[in-house]
Amino acid sequence: MATQASRMMHLNLFLFGCGHHRAAWRHPNSSIERMGDIGYYEKLAQTAERGKLDAVFFADGHSVGDINENSLWYLEPITTLSAMSRATEKIGLITTISSTFYTPFHAARLLASLDHISKGRVGWNLVTSMFDAEARNHGYESMPAHADRYRRAEEFADVMIKLWDSWRDDAIKCDRQGQYADPGKVSPIDHNGEFFLVDGPLNVPRSTQGNPVLFQAGASDQGIALAAKCAEAIYAVAYDLPAAQDYYRKVNAAVKVAGRRPAPIMPGLVTYVAATEEEALAKQRELDELLPVASSLKQLGTFIEQDCTHWDLDAPVPALPSLEEFNGPKGRYGTILRIIETENPTLRQLLGRLAAGGGHCTMVGTPEHIADKMAHWFHHEGADGFNLMPPSLPNGIEDFVDQVIPILQQRGLFRTEYKGATLRDHLGLKRPDF
């Protein structure tokens, strides 16, 4: 990490449909008709680049969401980022890659090619995927066990890097009277592991960054172990500062044990920004009120395992059993208890909180207020930056770039200009020369 004096935040824009609020697409001004229009995504990337953000980021999945619950579709990230790379010049471009479904040769080649095309701006978020519905689109009867997926992910990351390193940086000579490339500098990898047989070399030479930047977001013990072993940057889920600090310290301790330098940790962050707190709250309320109440109550009912369809929407949420007393899945339930405990929301507000970013942190208020809170996390072992999850797009990122970024810049917490040209440059990561 840089010294405290010069330490700067890292900010990514997490792109998702019409925004991260589940009802954002219902807003009259939403871009819901443009989910397949590349111009929509190019403009978002340009806005993020205007704000000097480190990168834009796409999550990914391999099955349709629940059509009955109005899950939106989205373009495939790699093809989308390739087009977006030509509408921007500096901003990083991060896709999600499932090690459970891709062969490492395909993935290494697609990302290396994209790193050439974008002149060194590619990152990849290594995930193991979760759902049987995804597995059954790629030839599995059901999703492999968690432990098997993580062993595969670790081998996958290893093979990816071996493939990227199968051409030395100076392998290509372009000697018109002699050789195009030096055969001594292009080598097979001869990998034969538990999951993968890959001879190599890759059929793409080493790219601008050497290797695209490896992101990870594991929260389980195995996820944290994988992140400690190989992640160069980390996404996190933390509803509030204590949760963020807990994760931050746990990961950095694991990284230290692994003998590696700390990787920037970026929790997800939902923001509602406006000139006054009242206006910011009104923006939040406007989206929350677009939620179809019946299906939201039904969903909450499954999370808390009781019928809440008759509860008063504008009264505080009734007392719920403690985490110890609750017998269902505890992750989301714990977040719900935390929200009730810290915010005492009405039922309608609780539905909104769950609808925008799920368990991620939400900050609502003036640009100064949000900059203060972000700085507080940044200076108190909560975050090295944030993965911005605007509740609605494009306005959510425009608000942030126009109103919050200038304050962070004035305070010396965020860059006023890109210093380098690659994603590694933006993240302060050294190029792995080879």
Residue list 29-48, contact with its own copies (CB under 8 A)? 30, 32-33, 36-38, 42
List of residues 6+ apart from 399 with CB closer than 8 A:
271, 273, 274, 390
Query: 7, 27, 168, 250: which one contacts its own copies (CB under 8 A)?
Result: 27
Nearest to 42, CA basis, from 85, 8, 4: 85
Task: Tell whether residue 103 is a contact of its own copies (CB under 8 A).
Answer: yes
* 401 phi-psi bin (left φ>0, alpha ψ -120 to 50, beta other): alpha
Name the nearest CA neighbour of 197 among 149, 163, 248, 244. 163
Q: Is the dihedral of CA 405, 408, 411, 415 positive or negative?
A: negative
- Supply the minimum distance, in Å, between the C-beta of residue 90 and its own copies: 16
What does the alpha-carbon distance between residue 326 and residue 216 come to, in Å, rounded to a whole number? 30
Q: Is 315 exposed, middle or buried (0-12, 13-18, 19+ CB in 10 A)?
A: exposed
Which is nearer to its own copies, 332 or 431 (by Cβ)? 431
Cα distance between residue 52 and residue 402, in whole Å: 11
Single out the residue of 46, 63, 222, 409 in contact with its own copies (rule: CB under 8 A). 63
Of 43-51, 182-190, 308-316, 325-333, which segment contacts its own copies by CB under 8 A? 182-190
* CA gap 257, 191 in Å, rounded: 27
**Whole-angstrom distance, CA of residue 78 vs CA of residue 60:** 10
Is 150 marked as a binding-site residue?
A: yes
Tell me if 239 is assigned to a ligand binding site: no
Residue whose structure tokens are 């100064």: 368
Q: Which tokens hold the place of 277?
A: 């707190």
Residue of 72, 130, 337, 340 interacting with its own copies (CB under 8 A): 72
Instruction: Give the separation between CA 198 and CA 103, rounded to whole angstroms.
Output: 9
- Considering the complex, what minimum distance in angstroms separates the CB of residue 306 from its own copies? 27
Residue 234: CB minimum distance to its own copies, A: 26
- 344-383 mask for its own copies (x: CB under 8 A)? ----------------------------------------
Q: Is 86 in the site for its own copies (CB under 8 A)?
A: yes
Q: Is 61 in the site for its own copies (CB under 8 A)?
A: yes
Q: Is 31 annotated as a binding residue?
A: no
Q: List binders of its own copies among 199-258 (CB under 8 A).
A: 199-205, 207
Closer residue to its own copies (CB): 113 or 222:
113
Q: Cβ atoms within 10 A of the Cβ of 155, count?
A: 17
Note whether 101 binds its own copies by CB under 8 A. Answer: yes
Applying CB under 8 A, among 1, 79, 257, 411 the residue interacting with its own copies is: 79
Size of the site for its own copies (CB under 8 A): 71
Q: Least distance from C-beta 412 to its own copies, angstroms?
A: 36
96 carries a ligand binding annotation: yes
- Residue 338 in contact with its own copies, rule: CB under 8 A: no
* Span 132-171, contacts to its own copies by CB under 8 A: 133, 136-141
Residue 296 in the binding site for its own copies (CB under 8 A): no
Interaction of residue 62 with its own copies, rule CB under 8 A: yes
What's the min distance (Å) between Cβ of 109 and its own copies?
A: 5
| 220 annotated binding-site participant | yes
67 binds its own copies, rule: CB under 8 A: yes
HEC string for 366-409:
CHHHHHHHHHHHHHCCCCCEEEECCCCCCHHHHHHHHHHHHHHH
Work out whether 194 is an interface residue with its own copies (CB under 8 A). no
At its nearest, how many Å lie between its own copies and the CB of residue 137?
4
Residue 159: which of 193, 187, 129 has the closest Cα? 193
Residue reference for tokens 């190599």: 200
Binds its own copies (CB under 8 A): choice among 28, 294, 310, 417: 28
Q: How far is the CB of 111 from its own copies (least distance, A)?
A: 9
Reduced to 3 states (helix: H, G, I; strand: E, B; else coil), residue 18 is coil
For residues 241 and 377, the answer to whether their CB atoms sit within 8 Å is yes
Min dist. Cβ of residue 271 to its own copies (A): 24
Taken in order 102, 104, 107, 110, the sign of the CA dihedral is: negative
**CB nearer to its own copies: pick between 21 and 415:** 21
Among 7, 46, 59, 109, binds its own copies (CB under 8 A): 109
Q: Are residues 112 and 210 in contact, defined by beta-carbon separation less than 8 angstroms?
A: no
Residue positions forming the annotated binding site: 60, 96, 146, 150, 220
Residue positions forming the annotated binding site for FMN: 60, 96, 146, 150, 220
